[in-house]
Chains A and B, each alone.
Chain A
């Protein structure tokens, strides 16, 4: 659905994006991760056709973005981090402007606008002037504008910034829904814990290079899949620590406070259940035992890219 081949973007003598290669299939929510200045926004702007790349190919739905940008644009929805808006328009007029720009037929526009206003929870603001909207509401309105042409490719640059918890929950729901409906979604964010909940693939960028790209499972595999476990006990902590230290498949055991310990465990599900059984057998009173895969933040740090700002 989105294919980027050998993309390079230069600003004067500075190379912002260096020979980038990745693709996003339909139904995939792709998180573009990297510190400030890593080239995420430049990559997104090049995909959108807002930047002329030095060289490289970008295909949207198989259409060459540089050869036929107007045709490719029909399939893209875009939402920036801080949405500027026309302050002299009503909410419905703003959506109508972009619905018409994406060739939504006049006869369907009224219904389409109402549908998306409902989706983002702004129905009661339909006839309000835009200056009367809060920042979070503007972000939601921008999301509605992005989704109105029912794009096959949705590009979101820091979409959650400025949204209240309710808006973030809505965004998460909509992202998951878009993925389920077969849309290719590219999303950049600094809030990795949130992306963890709806991204099925990621690309980690650093200084203009794509360090790693692919589905989260593949990357975990590639990085040496290490699951970590958290255990909370009511006593016999010394026994527990000693046991875990001696266990050949356990390493990096760290106390987390409140009788809680965290450690990495290499082994399949059967080995995990045997580990828990052995702990219980030693008479250690276990309150909780949680096995977790590495989240995006762990992967990001493990890959060794600079800290997110």
Chain B
């Protein structure tokens, strides 16, 4: 396959098709006029109100983000979901055009009109850059490039959502929710709302760079200096860190959507790819969180990685049909077992490997992260006093939570064909939400004097217990009663679900043996017919 085919957009039939249909004069004229008028109004506002220099750029930045991230992503997700639902996608699947070339055509072609609208805003962004000391022309250029790379990244993600959503009508709201979620979490972790002084955990948007310049430029309202921009202790500009992270994570997302675009029936990632994604995310996160205090690192790590491992585990969880298919295929080739990394095998050993990665990251966090504090930030500048033994006990909490979740999910998918989602939703609600709700009600009732008193009621929920996992590293003495509350549900659940999964595997295998014998006994229909004719 020539590399040229991937990059030559003018020869990409799907890209060309969207250029033709999206850039017809009737559909393009109105939105362009609207965006242009909004930009002119922003210039007029700045001229009239005389706000701090650079304020106009805020509005342009927000407008650009709405056009590229919200409108563009929504369009990509809903369009591909509709194409899939109408089965036109099957026509593309049976063409010799490689799935990756098709994906590039869809991702860059569907939002082509939004890119044009973005171009309309660019001269205004540059105009404001010449007026501001904070957002200078070079800063605006960097931010503009990051907006484009982030647009491609989020459109790739939206494409995957569109391909994976069962009903086309659900894909749009899901995409918008995710985009707002990413923006909000980024803003929140950047300290806009909570006053913390660290960057987003993963650099996948231009907001980190935006915040960095707000703070270095002493823009009004930016009271704290930015945290250092380093990667594994080395100075690394945020611009390049963001590009790097987007390329790495975007590649995995692109890989997943290419697999799904090629065939509806395959998992988004193969099991080795899932493991590689978890490992890569781990390395990136450790690199980005390197300068932070150990306690901050472990807090983020514990939550982020347990949830990330759960999501990746969910993506590669095998259902009953796939497992049966895998067994049939293996038997055809004279084997009775499926390999650990076989895409049709169940997630039993794989989750242990995930846990091993999680534990490795935890240990790296404890022993290797620099713990140098946050420079001149008094809030985060202190060295952490940690008790390693307690931390190691704590590290078992995310691991057992992951195993309980993963094996539970695997069991339900293996044992049930229908109502799997309802059962899993109920299980997650009872496990994650109910303890939290009970604890909250008790704390409001006035029967408990301290927050610590309601903690045992909330601890079974992973929302609380994952935070507790690194929190106990700060305590000299472990509280056995609290540990009992935390560990009991996850130990019981992981053991029971593992046993149930293994039992289900055995049942399926026995049923296959039985059906195989029945097949052998049954005479082929063709013979019956021939016998009838002879008669």
- Which residues does A use to contact B, with CB under 8 Å? 6, 8, 10-13, 48-52, 54-55, 69-71, 73-74, 76, 78, 80, 84-86, 88-89, 93, 96-98, 100-103, 145, 206, 209-212, 222-224, 303-304
Across the interface, A13 reaches (CB within 8 A) one of B264, B265, B321, namely B321
B332 beta carbon closer than 8 Å to chain A:
yes
CB nearest to B10 among chain A residues: A106
CB nearest to A211 among chain B residues: B525
- Tell me, in angstroms, the Cα distance from A100 to B10 when the chains sit together: 11
- Tell me, in angstroms, the Cα distance from A98 to B417 when the chains sit together: 38
User: What residues on A are CB-neighbors of B174 within 8 Å?
Assistant: none
How many interface contacts (CB-CB < 8 Å) are there between A and B? 110
- Tell me, in angstroms, the Cα distance from A76 to B95 when the chains sit together: 8
B533→A222 contact, CB < 8 A: yes
Nearest 9 CB-CB pairs, A to B? A100-B13, A12-B321, A84-B86, A101-B95, A73-B96, A88-B21, A74-B96, A55-B332, A101-B97
CB nearest to B12 among chain A residues: A100
- Tell me, in angstroms, the Cα distance from A59 to B20 when the chains sit together: 37
A54→B328 contact, CB < 8 A: yes
Min Cβ gap A137→B in Å is: 17
B133 beta carbon closer than 8 Å to chain A:
no
In chain B between 326 and 340, which residues have their CB closer than 8 angstroms to a CB of chain A? 328-329, 332-333
CB nearest to B534 among chain A residues: A224
B263 beta carbon closer than 8 Å to chain A:
yes
B532→A50 contact, CB < 8 A: no
Min Cβ gap A20→B in Å is: 12
B509 beta carbon closer than 8 Å to chain A:
no
- Contacts known (A50-B90, A52-B263, A52-B265); A12 close to B417, Cβ less than 8 A: yes
User: What residues on B are CB-neighbors of A52 within 8 Å?
Assistant: 263, 265-266
Q: List 5 A-B contacts (CB under 8 A).
A: A69-B262, A78-B94, A86-B17, A86-B88, A101-B14
User: What residues on B are CB-neighbors of A209 within 8 Å?
Assistant: 524-526
- Contacts known (A80-B87, A211-B525, A224-B533); A10 close to B16, Cβ less than 8 A: no
In chain B between 371 and 425, which residues have their CB closer than 8 angstroms to a CB of chain A? 417
- Tell me, in angstroms, the Cα distance from A47 to B93 when the chains sit together: 12
Min Cβ gap B437→A in Å is: 36
- Contacts known (A88-B21, A93-B17); A103 close to B96, Cβ less than 8 A: yes
CB nearest to A206 among chain B residues: B525
CB nearest to B333 among chain A residues: A55
- Tell me, in angstroms, the Cα distance from A101 to B16 when the chains sit together: 11
B21→A49 contact, CB < 8 A: no
User: What residues on A are CB-neighbors of B90 within 8 Å?
Assistant: 48, 50, 78, 80
Interface centre among A51, A55, A71, A80 (most CB of B within 10 A): A55
B29 beta carbon closer than 8 Å to chain A:
no
CB nearest to B262 among chain A residues: A69
- Tell me, in angstroms, the Cα distance from A19 to B205 when the chains sit together: 51
- Tell me, in angstroms, the Cα distance from A10 to B519 when the chains sit together: 15
A50→B97 contact, CB < 8 A: no
CB nearest to A56 among chain B residues: B332
A78→B91 contact, CB < 8 A: yes
Min Cβ gap B302→A in Å is: 37
B299 beta carbon closer than 8 Å to chain A:
no
Q: Looking at chain B, what size class is its interface with the partner chain?
A: 35 or more
Min Cβ gap A174→B in Å is: 19
B324 beta carbon closer than 8 Å to chain A:
yes
Across the interface, A70 reaches (CB within 8 A) one of B11, B96, B417, B529, namely B96
Min Cβ gap B161→A in Å is: 21
Min Cβ gap B97→A in Å is: 5
User: What residues on A are CB-neighbors of B58 within 8 Å?
Assistant: none
User: What residues on A are CB-neighbors of B525 within 8 Å?
Assistant: 206, 209, 211
User: What residues on A are CB-neighbors of B20 within 8 Å?
Assistant: 89, 93
User: What residues on B are CB-neighbors of A100 within 8 Å?
Assistant: 11, 13, 16
CB nearest to A155 among chain B residues: B94
In chain B between 73 and 121, which residues have their CB closer than 8 angstroms to a CB of chain A? 86-88, 90-98
- Tell me, in angstroms, the Cα distance from A50 to B332 when the chains sit together: 22
B169 beta carbon closer than 8 Å to chain A:
no
CB nearest to B332 among chain A residues: A55
A13→B92 contact, CB < 8 A: no
A50→B511 contact, CB < 8 A: no
- Tell me, in angstroms, the Cα distance from A304 to B528 when the chains sit together: 10
User: What residues on A are CB-neighbors of B533 within 8 Å?
Assistant: 222-224
CB nearest to A47 among chain B residues: B94
A84→B87 contact, CB < 8 A: yes
A303→B529 contact, CB < 8 A: yes
B355 beta carbon closer than 8 Å to chain A:
no
B324→A93 contact, CB < 8 A: no
- Tell me, in angstroms, the Cα distance from A128 to B263 when the chains sit together: 32
User: What residues on B are CB-neighbors of A93 within 8 Å?
Assistant: 17, 20-21
- Tell me, in angstroms, the Cα distance from A51 to B262 when the chains sit together: 10
- Tell me, in angstroms, the Cα distance from A304 to B266 when the chains sit together: 37
B167 beta carbon closer than 8 Å to chain A:
no
- Contacts known (A50-B94, A97-B13, A101-B95); A13 close to B329, Cβ less than 8 A: no
CB nearest to B532 among chain A residues: A304
A86→B21 contact, CB < 8 A: yes
User: What residues on B are CB-neighbors of A12 within 8 Å?
Assistant: 319-321, 324, 417
- Tell me, in angstroms, the Cα distance from A206 to B528 when the chains sit together: 13
CB nearest to A12 among chain B residues: B321
- Tell me, in angstroms, the Cα distance from A6 to B333 when the chains sit together: 12
User: What residues on B are CB-neighbors of A88 within 8 Å?
Assistant: 21
User: What residues on A are CB-neighbors of B503 within 8 Å?
Assistant: none
B506 beta carbon closer than 8 Å to chain A:
no
B417→A97 contact, CB < 8 A: no
- Tell me, in angstroms, the Cα distance from A80 to B87 when the chains sit together: 10
User: What residues on A are CB-neighbors of B325 within 8 Å?
Assistant: 10, 54
In chain B between 283 and 331, which residues have their CB closer than 8 angstroms to a CB of chain A? 319-321, 324-325, 328-329
- Tell me, in angstroms, the Cα distance from A51 to B94 when the chains sit together: 11
User: What residues on A are CB-neighbors of B328 within 8 Å?
Assistant: 8, 10, 54-55
Across the interface, A211 reaches (CB within 8 A) one of B264, B321, B529, namely B529
